[in-house]
Amino acid sequence: MENQALGQVTSERLPVHFPDPIQVANCYQCGKCTAGCPVAMHMDVAPNQVVRLAQLGEWEKALRSRAIWECVGCQTCSTRCPKEVDCAGVMDALREASLARGMAAPGRYFVVAFQKIFLENIHRNGRLNELELIGHFKVDVLLHTGRIPFLFKDAGLAPQLGKRKKLHLIPGRARDRGVVERIFERCSGERKA
């Protein structure tokens, strides 16, 4: 992992590609993003510090942080930033790079696995198949951690959902899955840096 020297703070030069409107260089470390973040207290690196790591090109720390996987994507940070830094977008870009480089924090296995399985599910079906999602998630986590995911510790939730007709046994799928497949294919190529 290449480390950018201090001072080189323009996003164009960073090895993690941020979408154009995200200018991490603008951050002046006021901490407002962290103050409003609902999960900051669970993060190893606070949102403002994540932005700082991105400014400094400290990719190793940023991409291996638990913080990027604790983020729930609520957009509070981006909304309140006085310098219009899209901090939530920074989190997204770091998650994408972290997963692509195999650097996702092992301690956040649940979240990482869930997002991956979710996306595979849509790839296959065009629309989310919830039962399949739950099944795959459960098996995957069990195989990797020997633990049973949360949902099923919630005794009787599945039958409760069934009773309320909240589980579809024959879920709808998109009919034209060819186009879904092609969209996924076109979006999964090498990213332009």
Question: Pick from 116, 124, 120: which is nearest to 178 by CA?
Answer: 124
Count of alpha carbons within 13 Å of 80, Cβ hemisphere only? 15
With CA atoms as reference, report the closest residue to 82 among 41, 48, 42, 43.
48
Q: Using CB distances below 5 to 8 A depending on partner kind, what does residue 172 bind out of another protein, ligand SF4, none?
A: another protein
121 CB contacts (<8 Å, ≥6 apart)? 128, 129, 132, 133, 136
Binding site for ligand SF4 (CB under 6 A): 27-33, 37-39, 47-48, 51, 71-77, 81-83, 85, 87-88, 91, 128
> In this structure, what token pair is assigned to residue 109?
């296995």
Regarding 148 and contact with another protein (CB under 8 A), the answer is no
Q: Is 166 in the site for another protein (CB under 8 A)?
A: yes
Q: Check residue 161 for interaction with another protein (CB under 8 A).
A: yes
Give 61 or 134: the residue with its C-beta nearer to another protein.
Answer: 134
- Residue among 26, 83, 130, 140 that touches another protein (CB under 8 A): 130
Q: How many residues comprise the chain? A: 193
What distance in Å separates the CA atoms of residue 39 and residue 31, rounded to the nearest whole number? 14
Q: What share of the chain is helix, strand, coil (3-state, %, to 5)?
A: 55, 0, 45
Measured distance CA(90)–CA(23) in Å, rounded:
9
Residues 74-103, mask of contacts with another protein (x by CB under 8 A): xxx-xx------x-x---xx-xx--x----
Shortest Å distance, C-beta 155 to ligand SF4: 26
Closer by beta carbon to ligand SF4, 65 or else 103: 65
Interface residues toward another protein, by CB under 8 A: 19, 38-39, 42, 70, 72-76, 78-79, 86, 88, 92-93, 95-96, 99, 110-111, 113-116, 118-119, 122, 126-128, 130, 134, 137, 149-151, 154, 157, 160-161, 164-168, 171-172, 174-176, 179-180, 182-184, 186-188, 191
